[in-house]
Amino acid sequence: MSTSPESSIGIFDSGIGGLTVVKAVRKALPRENIIYFGDTARVPYGIKSVETVRQYALQITDFLLKKNVKLVLIACNTVSAAAHEEVKTRCGKIPALGVIEAGSRAAVEAGGKSIGVIGTLATIGSGAYDKSLTALDPGIRVFSRACPMLVPLAEEGWTDNEIATLTLQTYLSDLKGKNLDSLILGCTHYPLFRDGIAEILNGTTTRIIDSADSIARMATELLESKNMMNSEGSRQGSFECYVSDKPQRFQQLAERFMGEKINRIEIVNLI
Ligand code: DGL
């Protein structure tokens, strides 16, 4: 089946983190239809092996391709680090963009040579940001920190309580002293802690970089260049949500975060 401008954009993550990308895409491209998959049965990905993350990513990609999506957005840094090439290959002619490239570009465009990256153990351990940032500008110095507790806290909805504050302070105190030009939120769950992170960085000149706006911009440019923008009518595009477990819990958190009612949310078993 061939895709058309009315086909949906497929976006996926291990859980609710990728909704930060959905929000940015809906703002940049309000007419686009979006299909989201959150792998809530298997979150977190960041503590799993590359092989396992690749296997999960390809299963989700197959699911989205069956839905005839015209573009895949990997709204997960862990998958972008472990399996972007594999997802691209599986997608064939359908383009697949990843958040690591988007986040790196945004940080380099913002200027400065001293860049901090926080992410999951898998993302930081892969060195994917170091490679991508220094490929864009070999003069950049990268300071990384894995923050594995943040994803479980976000999935629990604990993003602005005392535990979240203490956890952020523990993870970020070293980086705060590095005089960073930018700090990349190298996990799509982390923008949920944006206020707490900004508070810790208060008093520094460090900019916070969220790859969501950057990947939304890349998606816009790509669809424009291929004449694949959905120009049907003037209505807001549809938003279909799929998860691999516990849709009720996901729905509560997702609606709180998106600030809107999610009418369609279904549970799908990929295995
Ligand atoms: N939100 C994801 C990321 O950007 C995955 C986090 C996880 O499942 O550990 O890496």
Would you kindly state where each structural domain of the chain is located, as residue ranges? 9-98+213-267, 101-211
Instruction: Determine whether the shortest distance from the Cβ of 43 to ligand 1 is under 6 A.
Output: yes
**CA distance linking residue 72 with residue 87, whole number of Å:** 9
User: Is there an atom of ligand 1 within 6 Å of 80 CB?
Assistant: no
Mutating to test ligand 1, I would choose from 74, 185, 188, 210 the residue with most ligand atoms within 8 A of its C-beta, which is 188
- Which residue ranges of the chain lie beneath pLDDT 50? none
Per-chain mean pLDDT for the chain: 95
* Dist. CA 69–CA 7, nearest whole Å: 6
pLDDT of residue 233: 61
Per cent of the chain over pLDDT 70 is 99
What are the Cα distances from residue 188, in Å, to 56, 88, 99?
17, 20, 8
Cα(189) to centroid(ligand 1), Å? 6
Report d(CA 121, CA 10) in Å as an integer. 25
What stretches of the chain show up as alpha helix (H) in DSSP? 19-28, 50-66, 77-91, 99-110, 121-126, 128-136, 150-156, 162-176, 194-201, 211-225, 247-258
Distance (angstroms) between ligand 1 centre and the Cα of 23 equals: 17
Tally Cβ neighbours within 10 Å of residue 202.
Answer: 9
Distances (CA, A) of 173 to 169, 197, 202, 207: 6, 11, 12, 16
Give the pair of three-digit tokens for residue 190.
Answer: 């982390």
Q: Which residues are catalytic?
A: 76, 187
The pTM of the whole model exceeds 0.85: yes
Q: Classify strands 96-98 and 9-13 as parallel, antiparallel or unpaired.
A: unpaired
Pull the structure tokens for residue 247.
């849709």
Ligand 1 atom nearest the C-alpha of 75 is: 4
- Ligand 1 centroid–CA 177 distance in Å is 26
Question: Could you tell me which CATH class the domain 9-98+213-267 is placed in?
Answer: alpha beta
Our answer on whether the CB atom of 211 is closer than 6 Å to any ligand 1 atom is no
| 203 Ramachandran zone, left/alpha/beta (phi>0; psi -120 to 50) | left
Nearest ligand 1 atom, CA 187: 4
pLDDT digits (tens, 9 = 90+) for 168-224: 999 999 999 999 999 999 999 999 999 999 999 999 999 999 999 999 999 999 999
pLDDT at res. 247: 81
Please return the burial class of 248, using the count of CB atoms within 10 Å of its CB with bins 0-12, 13-18 and 19+: exposed
Question: What would the two tokens of residue 62 be?
Answer: 């197959």
Asked whether the domain spanning 101-211 has the same topology as the one spanning 9-98+213-267, the reply is yes
The CATH-assigned architecture of domain 101-211 is: 3-Layer(aba) Sandwich (3.40)
pLDDT value of position 263: 80
pLDDT of residue 33: 95
Residue 187 near ligand 1, beta carbon < 6 Å: yes
Angle between helices 99-110 and 128-136 (to 10 degrees): 40
The ligand 1 atom at the shortest distance from the C-alpha of residue 46 is 9
Task: State if residue 214 touches ligand 1 by the CB under 6 angstroms criterion.
Answer: no
